Structure 1
Amino acid sequence: MNLKIKVLLTSFIVLTGLTVMPGFVEGYTVKQGDTFWKIAQKHGVSTNELMNVNNYSSSLLYPGAKLTIPESFSEADKELIARLVHAEAKGEPYAGKVAVATVILNRVDHSNFPNTVKGVVYETYENGAIYAFSPVENGAINKSADSEAKRAVEEAIAFRGQGQGSIYFYNPETAASAWIFDQQTTVKIGNHVFAK
């Protein structure tokens, strides 16, 4: 459902007094000390999206203002991303974990990849013989994520759309496909190179 329809439906719901459907959009009243960042993190949405949906070009918020909270990722999606982050970035700095989660979100938003978290994580190449991420191939995706990986996912969601557009990451010491070295490097964090 596109953003204009969501905003129109939200306006209809508010004007008619109907209850907001869970998982769709919800209302939020700004409290003293709130920032877009804090509200976005609390609701698992992008800061940019939160500002755009509410027609804010400035980050200035006043207590009592009413905000529409856009639809966020499901808990299952967040858990899947966190498990992948845990498996791919164990032992990497926290910033590297956020960056790995950001790659997943960027792929969801990119036209060359599936438009769901599950589709991105379980994407296959070469007629389904090879998974895009080695933890899916070797089963490490099925292990529980730690709290740092979960926190990194929340931060990546809150900053969604504000990074450098990385859609790949690799360890130059272990990368098996030579084509990855031809991609434009966006940042290096720990043992990973991020690229687009």
Structure 2
Amino acid sequence: MSTLMSWLARVSLCVALTTPAMLATSANADTKSSTKTGAAAAQKVSSTDLACLSEALYFEARGEGAKGQQAVAEVILNRVDHPRFPKSVCGVVNQKGQFTYRKTRIREQGAFSRAQKIAKAALQGGPRNLTNGATYFHAGRVKPSWSRKFERTTRIGSHTFYRSGHRIASN
């Protein structure tokens, strides 16, 4: 009898632990589908977009934490929605002169897996509330000339983010 009681206790615990998570997942899915906005949220996640965004996050921000990678993904998706940039993730990522990384071999599978998860969440309409609408960013070790022309929105990890729709007077 004690074996049966022990088994029932374990099963009950498992059910108690998983039920709230399942309910939250279902509620989040309902909320996300009813509150999606912007072109990126309306897009279905294509394998091509996922590959381009994952590679960009890996090569541009793999040394950052999850928040830093999410912020870089946010910038890329903000560009997709902005009229001055290409209308696709791959178009933005591959736009000449915009990203400094050169595609090389992916050597850190764990870091790439994390970048893929972050990219997928962003492409599925995850919130974009880290960079305050930024469409540009740079690493802290560089100081590009364009950084004086745009409004700085935030700094996350080693990256500084800027919004392009609000030019600052240069004189």
Offset at residue 70 of structure 1 (A): 5.2
Within 5 A, what are the aligned runs for 1:1-196?
32-33=23-24, 34-36=26-28, 38=29, 47=32, 50-52=33-35, 71-124=43-96, 131-135=97-101, 138-140=102-104, 143=106, 146-157=112-123, 158-160=125-127, 162=129, 164-175=132-143, 177-196=144-163
Offset at residue 181 of structure 1 (A): 3.2
- Could you give the per-residue CA deviations for residues 128-153 of structure 1, whole angstroms, max 9, x where no partner exists? xxx21011xx334x637611111211
CA contact (8 A) 2:70 2:118 kept: yes
Offset at residue 39 of structure 1 (A): 5.8
CA contact (8 A) 1:105 1:160 kept: no
Runs of 4+ in 1 over 4 A off after TM superposition: 160-163
Unaligned runs of 5+ in 1: 1-30, 41-46, 54-68, 125-130
Unaligned runs of 5+ in 2: 1-21, 164-171
Offset at residue 159 of structure 1 (A): 2.3
Offset at residue 73 of structure 1 (A): 2.5
Considering only CA atoms, is the larger Rg found in Structure 1 or Structure 2? 2
CA contact (8 A) 1:184 1:195 kept: yes
- Could you give the per-residue CA deviations for residues 60-95 of structure 1, whole angstroms, max 9, x where no partner exists? xxxxxxxxx954120221111011100000211210
Offset at residue 162 of structure 1 (A): 4.8
Offset at residue 110 of structure 1 (A): 0.5
CA contact (8 A) 1:108 1:117 kept: yes
Secondary structure of 1:95's counterpart equals: helix
The percentage of counterpart residues that share the same residue type is 29
- Rounded to whole Å, the distance in 1 between the matches of 2:56 and 2:126 is 18
Structure 2 length normalisation: TM-score? Answer: 0.66
Point out the structure with the larger helix share: 2
- Rounded to whole Å, the distance in 2 between the matches of 1:170 and 1:71 is 27
Give the direction of change, closer, same or farther, for the CA distance of 1:32–1:166 in structure 2 (3 Å limit). same
Secondary structure of 1:72's counterpart equals: coil
